Structure 1
């Protein structure tokens, strides 16, 4: 059973090609932004069932909660296992909202399970010069990139305003700079563990053509992510589907 804590000590997932590859889809710096748009964030907790080859292999939880008027906490936790393989992951972002923009402050990532454990901690600093400090590591230039998971919140906001020309620059859970585009495919009605939901389907555009990642966001749930599916060489690597959703 996954439990949430506000501190940076939780689980995360890594099943290569399953939830990490799948959730690498997380970032958030929009190429085109309208300053007078208000970014409305509704605190929530969403639970997902993770599938591999149609088998239930674990759970994922995402939780957004306010820390102050403009500061928020976003956590992602997953536990996945199949046969003798196991993977637990945890991501924690602290961020604030300024002029309709999500601005990262700190990011923490931890992975345990089969194979080597991994951990990353980043601090985004504005003054005296913009930079990203890797705890125990390098100091990197910060040119407006976000962290590995804030994409979900921003993308829902852009979809709600009918935007279709969207792209993201971010630093991923390995500490690497990445750029992805988003293609809005259209509307679909999904049959998920939580029930039938109307959603907007998008595709992640990346340089690696061997992988295809699709995501669905539900207008009725404040454009929250309700499904994420990834393929490699036309073979499904993983699929997470919403099983419960509550506002906080």
Structure 2
């Protein structure tokens, strides 16, 4: 039974953070440049250390950035490795997605996805080898990881995101601040802002904690399904990059 439940844990990892950006949403509060960083996390299941995850934000060129997410999770005979890579631009105070790549391997079926966002000759989204779709301000599956901290720093209490997920499907998340908490993670004890991620027609419940002293970045993510914990991701290292 435990092995079966563990299979759902990688979905929690993807959620992670599963959140949003690039297009135009909440762009009024985006600064002229972004703080580059490298964050590492420890993944837990039933209180056991089962893997790691990393998030990196790098400037590729003036006003062009890359956001990378990777994770490795294993327990018993099950394993899951995931990689997400986004290239986006900071234009006129807006985060504009350009390209998103996703790969997954491990127990079960391997999968991959590429999403291209193009504004010429007209706004379109191309998902792997599928026909192009109209681009109506959707973002990719992970840029929220940068936008949520920006909105919290600006004092926002509620955010909505429309995005293309790692399966190539359009999705919407509602993210609401539920309070402030002082929590302990491997990195140390931190004052945080706690938010709840609400999905359409889903029994999953996700909470995330962001630390103002660490540029409002994510320090913990915990997910439940039908009242049972799927996973708990906690910050172990955070390095801002000049």
TM-score normalised to structure 2 length? 0.91
SS in 1 for 2:28: coil
Q: Describe how 1:9-48 pairs up with structure 2 within 5 A.
A: 16-24=7-15, 25-28=18-21, 33=26, 35=28, 38=31, 40-48=33-41
CA distance in 2, matches of 1:146, 1:234: 30
Report what 1:122 is aligned to.
Answer: 115
CA distance in 2, matches of 1:34, 1:83: 44
Q: How much is the aligned-residue C-alpha RMSD, in angstroms?
A: 1.7
> Could you list the runs of 5+ residues in structure 1 that have no partner in the other structure?
1-14
TM-score normalised to structure 1 length? 0.89
- Deviation string 1:22-56 (CA, Å, 9 cap, x unpaired) is 43322237986363752541111000000011110
CA distance in 1, matches of 2:25, 2:53: 31
Name the one with the larger helix percent: 2
Report what 1:204 is aligned to.
Answer: 197
Report what 1:88 is aligned to.
Answer: 81
CA distance in 2, matches of 1:47, 1:36: 26
Query: How far 1:127 moved relative to its partner?
Result: 1.0
Contact 1:29–1:167 (Cα < 8 Å) also in 2: no
Query: How far 1:207 moved relative to its partner?
Result: 1.9
CA distance in 2, matches of 1:55, 1:39: 41
- Deviation string 1:192-240 (CA, Å, 9 cap, x unpaired) is 0111011110000112341100111111110111111100011000110
Query: How far 1:20 moved relative to its partner?
Result: 2.7
SS in 2 for 1:51: strand
Query: How far 1:180 moved relative to its partner?
Result: 1.0
> Could you list the runs of 5+ residues in structure 2 that have no partner in the other structure?
1-5
Contact 2:52–2:73 (Cα < 8 Å) also in 1: yes
Count of residue pairs brought into register by the alignment: 234
- Deviation string 1:39-97 (CA, Å, 9 cap, x unpaired) is 54111100000001111000001111100110001100100000000000000000011
CA distance in 2, matches of 1:55, 1:35: 41
Q: Describe how 1:186-205 pairs up with structure 2 within 5 A.
A: 186-205=179-198
The change in CA–CA distance for 1:227 and 1:59 in structure 2 (over 3 A counts) is same
Q: Describe how 1:225-236 pairs up with structure 2 within 5 A.
A: 225-236=218-229
1:79 pairs with 2:72: yes
Once superposed, which parts of structure 1, at least 4 consecutive aligned residues long, lie more than 6 Å away?
A: 29-32
The change in CA–CA distance for 1:149 and 1:32 in structure 2 (over 3 A counts) is closer
